[in-house]
Each structure stands twice: as structure tokens, then as C-alpha cells.
Structure 1
Amino acid sequence: MPIYMDRHEIPEEITAAHVAQMHREDLKIEHLYGCKGMTYWCDEKRRTAFCLIQAPNKKAIQDMHNHAHGEVPHRIIEVESSIVESFLGRIEDPEKSQKTELNIINDPAFRTIMVIGLRKVSFLGVDPKLMDREFHIYNKSILQSIEKFLGRIVRQKSGYFLLSFNSVTNAVLCAQEIHSNINDTSKGFNWDYKLNIGLHAGVPVTEKDGIFEDTIKMAERFCEMVHGKIVISPEVRELYESENMNVKLNHKNIKTLSVGEEKFVNLLMDYTEKEWTNAAFNSNDFSKNLGFSKSQLYRKMIGLTGKSPNNFIKDYRLEKALQLLDKKANNISEIAFGTGFNSPAYFSKCFMDNFGILPSKYIQNYAV
């Protein structure tokens, strides 16, 4: 039977005890609708509650809630229990306290999401076996930091980690330690790797179909846009400072986006993701469609990414091409045209200039 997570907006007068009572009322009549309530999360501060329920369909959940207490959810999405546990740490009610009649769970579902990207800067003259050993060492170091700061791994693949943290402070400290370790040559690491870390925070159910989809997308976009630093959202900074007695988060390895910069990231990436495969797409299209003059756009792009609009487009396409080469799903010509390059020859030249190796050699020696 499918598993769903729903979201309730709770009024000011509703407390965690009220939500616990409603959860208990659900459990009393759930069998009438073929449902099984697994657990819930309540966040009095943000006025939200989230229920995890096995059910035949979304309507059964709505009908059950309506019958039990009348609080119909504002949004329901289908989820996988293993993914929910990875993000939120549990899929069952915590053990009930022996001193309380109700099992009151004042446990927010709000999480800080971290995305880590790590890859070789250049593959020129690199021994594939040596690179595998280096990746193993780097991954071990990253995993040690994740465990130390109580992070949970949601997804891991070569050069990529998706992590969830209950504590904003732990997430920021973990990111700082990873950044420091990977860039510390005295620990056996070298500078020939590009490390990107993005942190954003949010709730599991929004208007999107996937769990934490908005938050993950923003953390990934931070990684794609700003290289070499830990990039955090304004909300992460504010939460960190509030958890640490207003100690300012001012570190040279952290780039804290302003609200305006975060909006610009979304605007830029929404448009880039829509148009990047179009070979005619260039910086003039950015200016026309984003509402900036060429000089305004150039200043914003250089200030945020260190790249001109044209270089940003080219590097974005090359990163996408690298991912496709790793999958070995298409030949080089198909990948060249599919990623917006006018010819395979020009694609190969750009790839060589950027990664120090021809696409054909990359497939032979490094594609995973």
C-alpha cells in the first residue's frame, strides 16, 4: 500500500497537545478508510504539522481526517518510507512517555539540507587508479565529518552527497570541517579538486511533488553557481546566529547569500534549465528575459559566480556533458548537440580546455 505525507497549517491556538489528540482520533477510526497512521511531526513555531500514513489513496486520508477531527490537510504527496527516514530520522511514533496520557510529539519536520559536490578540476595526466584511491580517501574524510555532526545521508554517488541535519549549527560546522579538511594539503589532500557545498533549510511538503524538493533544488543550485565556498541561504544564516547567541557567521570560506541574491539564483537557474540545450541561447537572451541590462547582468554574474554570462553558460553545458559521458548513454556527437554545442569538434575543444582531456579519452578512462 502506498505511503503518503500530508501537511497541515495549524492555527495559533492549536498546540502540540492538540495535534497529539487529533493523531489519536485518527488512529481510532483509520481502519474505516483502509489507512494506517505511522507517525507525525508538529512544529508549533512554524505552525505546521505533517502526518505519515499508509493509505489506498489521497482521498482516503482526507476522509479519515475529516471524520476524526475535521482538520483536512492542505497538501498530500506520495513518499518512500526509507527516504522519509533518511531525511527525518524516523517513520514511527517515538516511544510514549510513561508520565503522559498523550504521546505528544513536538518534533519539527524542518531540516537543513546539505549538498556536496566533489570532482577533479583537470584530468590531464591523471592515473584513473590513483584518482579512485583519492576519492576513497576524500569520501572517508567526508563520512567521518557527517557522522561527527549527526548528519544523515539521504543519497550518495560518486562525487555527490545529499545530507539532512536536524540542527542548523551542526550542518554549518560539518560543512566548515569538510571544506577545511579537503583543502588542507597537510592532511594528504591536494588542490586539484573542486569542492562545492550548498546549504538550505525547509520543510518536507510544499507545492512540489517530491519530499524536500524545493530545499534540495536550492542547495543544488548553490553548488552549481558558486564554486569553492560553502554557500548558505539567508535563513540558514539567521537560524545559525539565533542558535548561537547572535554570534555572526563571518568566515572567509562561507558565502551567505542575501535575499536578493537567492531570488536571482532562482531566476537565473529557472531560465538556464529551460534554455541551456538550445545552441542559439547566449548572454543576450539572459539580458532580455531576466530584465537586466548587459552591464547589470555582467556585474551580478561576476559578483556571484566569478564568471561572465557566456562563460557561465559554457561551463554549465560542459558540466552537464560530463554527467552524460559518465552515463555512457549517448555517443560524443549526440552529447555535443544535446548540450547546446554547434559541433562535436567545438565541443571537444571546449571540453579539452576545461577538463584537460578529450571526451573520447574521458569515456575510456574515467567514466563511472
Structure 2
Amino acid sequence: MPIFMDRHEVPAGTTAETLATIHQEDLKIEHEFGCRGFTYWYDDDRKQAFCLIEAPNKEAIIDMHRKAHGDVPNRIIEVDPTIVTSFLGRISDPEKSQNTTLNIINDPAFRVIMVIETNNYLNRVEANQYSIFNQKFHKSITKTFDKFEGRIVKQNNNVYITSFKSVTNAVFCALKVRSNFKYITPKFEDHDRILKMAINAGVPVTAHNTIFEETVNLATRMCEHVHRQIVITQEIKSLYESENRNAFVDNDLIYTLSLDGQQFLTQLMDFIEDHWRDPELDVSGFSKSLGYSKSQFYRKLKSLTGKSPNIFIKDYRLNQSLKLLHEQRGNVSEIAFETGFNSLAYFSECFKRKFKILPSKYIQQHTF
């Protein structure tokens, strides 16, 4: 049976004790609707509660809540319990609240999410060096995550997504990862030493369909497209300074993306993700669709990404083509035209200029 997480906006004046009593009302009648409540999270500061429930469908959860206490959830999504554990650390009540008459839980589901990206499957130099790099980096970064109480949600050879309860721990962790990185592969050239990090924060259930999707999505976009090594949102900066008695974030090491920059990045990526395959896409249409003049668009994009609009579009297409080639989603010609290039020769020329290898050669050497 599927497992769901719902979100409740809790009225002002509600206490953790009140919510624990309401939760008990659910448990008394859950069998009538084929449901089984695992646990819940409550954030007194933000007045939000999130319930984890096994149920035949979303309607059963709504009907159960309505009959038990009338507090119908604002949103329900289906979740994987393993992923819930990775982000939130548990899928049952905290130990201190177990085996008590009233399980009072005041444990927020708000989490700080860090995305780290490093050398990808292209920037591997010699295969044995890349393997050594992965081993050393994983050992180092795992030790650092443990030190700062970060939970690894996802990892592969070049991407880590990690969850923290503390903003301070996340920021200190990023600085430590940055400091350690140069000692892991001292013989690598600078262009092979790729390390970018982004930190965002949010709650598990929003308008999206996947747990923490909105938070992870923005952090990933910040990591991949803002031309700074460590990027944080304005909210992270404010929370950090609040936790540390107004101690300021080191602006020389950490770049804070403004609310305006965050909005522009969201507009930019929403549009490019929908239109990058269109061979007719040009700067004029791009800027107009986002509501800017060509000169305004150029300035904002250059400031955010370090790239001109034409280079940004081309690089995005090339990065997508690299991914498709690596996943063997077609031959070179098919992928060239699928990614918006009208000419196979021009695609191969651009690919070689950016990645220092022809796409046909890449397929031979880097796919198995």
C-alpha cells in the first residue's frame, strides 16, 4: 500500500500538546479508512505539521482527518519511506516520545539542503586518476558530512545531495569541503578541479509532487548555473546570521543569491528547460519571453552565470547532449538534432571546442 505525506497549516495558538491530542484522534479511527499513521513532524515557529501515513489513496487520508478532527490537509504527496528517512532521519516517532501516554512531538520538518557537484564523467583525465579521485573525495566528504551532522540523500560519481537540520552546520560543512578539496587531487590541473556547492532550505511538501522537490530543484540550479563556488539563498544567509548572533557570512567565500536573482534564475531555467530543443530559439525571443530588453537580459544573465545569452544557450544544449551521449540515447547525428543543432558538423565543432573531444570519439572512449 502506498505511503503519503501531507501538510497542514496549523492555526496560531496551537501547541505541540494540542497537535499530539489531534494526532491521537486520527489513530483511534484510522482502521475505518484503511490507514496507518507512522509519525508526524511539527514546527511551532512556522506553524506547520506533516503527517506520514500509509493509506489506499489520498481521499482516505482526507476522510480520516475530516472525521477525526476536521483539519483537512492542504497538500498530500506520495513518498518513498527510504527517501523520507534520508531527508528527515526517521519514519516513526522519536524515541523520547515513544511509550508515553501522549506522544508530544515538536520536531520541525524544515531542512537545509546542500547540493555538491564535482568532476563529471567527462572530466575524468586518466581513468585510474579519476577512480582515485572518487575514492578520496567520497572518503573525505563522508567524514565531513558526519562531523557536521549531514545526511546523504543522494550520491553518484559527481553529485551529492545532503540534508541538515542546522543552517550553521551546512555552511561550515561547505567551507570545510572547499578547504579539503585542494588536498584530494593535488596533481590535477585547475580545469579538472571542479567543485560547486549550493545551499537552500525548505519543507518536504509544497506544490510539487516529490518530497523536497522545490528546495532541491533551486539548489541544483544554483549549483549548476551561478558562477560562484559556494552559493546560498537570502533565507540561508538570514538564518545563519540569526543562529550566530548576527555574525555575518563571509562574502569573500560565499555568494548570496538575492531574491531578485533567485526569481530571475527560476524564470530563466523554467524557460530554457521547456525550449532548449527548439532550433529557432534565439536571444531576442529568449529575452522577450522573460520580459526583458536584450540589453537588460544580457546584463542579468552575464552577472548571474558569467555567460552571454548565446553562450548560455549553446552550453546548455551541449551539456544536455553530453548527458544523452553518455546514456546512449541515440547516435551522434540523432542527438545533435534533438538538442537544437541544425548542422551535424557545427554540433561536432562546438562539442569538441567545449569538451576537447569529438562526440564520436567520446562515445568510443566513455560509454560502455
Q: TM class, shorter-chain normalised?
A: over 0.9
Instruction: Indicate conservation of the 8 Å contact 2:137/2:184, yes or no.
Output: no
One-letter identity of the residue aligned with 2:337: F
Unaligned runs of 5+ in 1: none
Residue in 1 aligned with 2:259?
259
One-letter identity of the residue aligned with 1:177: K
Report whether the alignment pairs 1:337 with 2:337: yes
* Matching of residues 94-243 of structure 1 within 5 Å: 94-97=94-97, 101-119=101-119, 123=123, 126-184=125-183, 190-191=189-190, 192-243=192-243
Residue in 2 aligned with 1:16?
16
* Matching of residues 304-315 of structure 1 within 5 Å: 304-315=304-315
**TM-aligned CA deviation for residue 146 of structure 1:** 1.5
Change (3 A) 1:186 1:117: closer
**Separation in 1 of the partners of 2:99 and 2:32?**
30
**TM-aligned CA deviation for residue 225 of structure 1:** 1.1
One-letter identity of the residue aligned with 1:94: P
Report whether the alignment pairs 1:4 with 2:4: yes
Change (3 A) 1:105 1:123: closer
Q: In structure 2, the residue corresponding to 1:56 is in which secondary structure?
A: coil
Change (3 A) 1:132 1:107: same
One-letter identity of the residue aligned with 1:108: P
**Separation in 1 of the partners of 2:232 and 2:322?**
26
**Separation in 2 of the partners of 1:98 and 1:211?**
25
1:167-218 CA-partner distances (Å, limit 9, x unpaired): 1111111111112222457866652222221111100001111111111110
Residue in 1 aligned with 2:86?
86
One-letter identity of the residue aligned with 2:49: A
Change (3 A) 1:164 1:123: closer
Residue in 1 aligned with 2:282?
282
Q: How many residues align?
A: 367
1:18-68 CA-partner distances (Å, limit 9, x unpaired): 111111111111111111100000001111000000011111111111111
Q: In structure 2, the residue corresponding to 1:150 is in which secondary structure?
A: coil
Q: CA RMSD in A?
A: 2.0
**TM-aligned CA deviation for residue 333 of structure 1:** 1.1
- Range with greater deviation from structure 2 (135-144 or 227-236): 135-144
Instruction: Indicate conservation of the 8 Å contact 1:121/1:193, yes or no.
Output: no
Instruction: Indicate conservation of the 8 Å contact 1:3/1:79, yes or no.
Output: yes
Change (3 A) 1:98 1:118: closer
**TM-aligned CA deviation for residue 99 of structure 1:** 10
**Separation in 2 of the partners of 1:287 and 1:206?**
29
Q: In structure 2, the residue corresponding to 1:42 is in which secondary structure?
A: strand
**TM-aligned CA deviation for residue 98 of structure 1:** 8.4
**Separation in 2 of the partners of 1:133 and 1:279?**
40
Q: In structure 1, the residue corresponding to 2:155 is in which secondary structure?
A: strand
- Range with greater deviation from structure 2 (204-213 or 154-163): 154-163
Q: In structure 1, the residue corresponding to 2:194 is in which secondary structure?
A: strand
Instruction: Indicate conservation of the 8 Å contact 1:184/1:190, yes or no.
Output: no
1:97-125 CA-partner distances (Å, limit 9, x unpaired): 5896421110000001111111259759x
Change (3 A) 1:99 1:326: closer
Change (3 A) 1:99 1:93: closer
**Separation in 1 of the partners of 2:366 and 2:224?**
21
1:303-324 CA-partner distances (Å, limit 9, x unpaired): 1111111111111111111111
Change (3 A) 1:28 1:96: farther
**Separation in 2 of the partners of 1:120 and 1:8?**
40
Instruction: Indicate conservation of the 8 Å contact 1:16/1:42, yes or no.
Output: yes
**Separation in 2 of the partners of 1:9 and 1:106?**
15
Instruction: Indicate conservation of the 8 Å contact 1:121/1:355, yes or no.
Output: no
Instruction: Indicate conservation of the 8 Å contact 1:149/1:171, yes or no.
Output: yes
Change (3 A) 1:44 1:360: same
**TM-aligned CA deviation for residue 273 of structure 1:** 0.7
Instruction: Indicate conservation of the 8 Å contact 1:123/1:357, yes or no.
Output: no
Instruction: Indicate conservation of the 8 Å contact 2:111/2:163, yes or no.
Output: yes
Instruction: Indicate conservation of the 8 Å contact 1:118/1:193, yes or no.
Output: yes
* Matching of residues 313-328 of structure 1 within 5 Å: 313-328=313-328
Report whether the alignment pairs 1:70 with 2:42: no
Q: Name segments (4+ residues, structure 1) moved above 6 Å.
A: none
Instruction: Indicate conservation of the 8 Å contact 2:133/2:184, yes or no.
Output: no
1:139-189 CA-partner distances (Å, limit 9, x unpaired): 222222222211111111221111111111111111111122224578666
Q: In structure 2, the residue corresponding to 1:72 is in which secondary structure?
A: coil
Identity over aligned pairs, percent: 54
Q: In structure 2, the residue corresponding to 1:199 is in which secondary structure?
A: strand
Q: In structure 2, the residue corresponding to 1:59 is in which secondary structure?
A: helix
Q: In structure 2, the residue corresponding to 1:14 is in which secondary structure?
A: coil
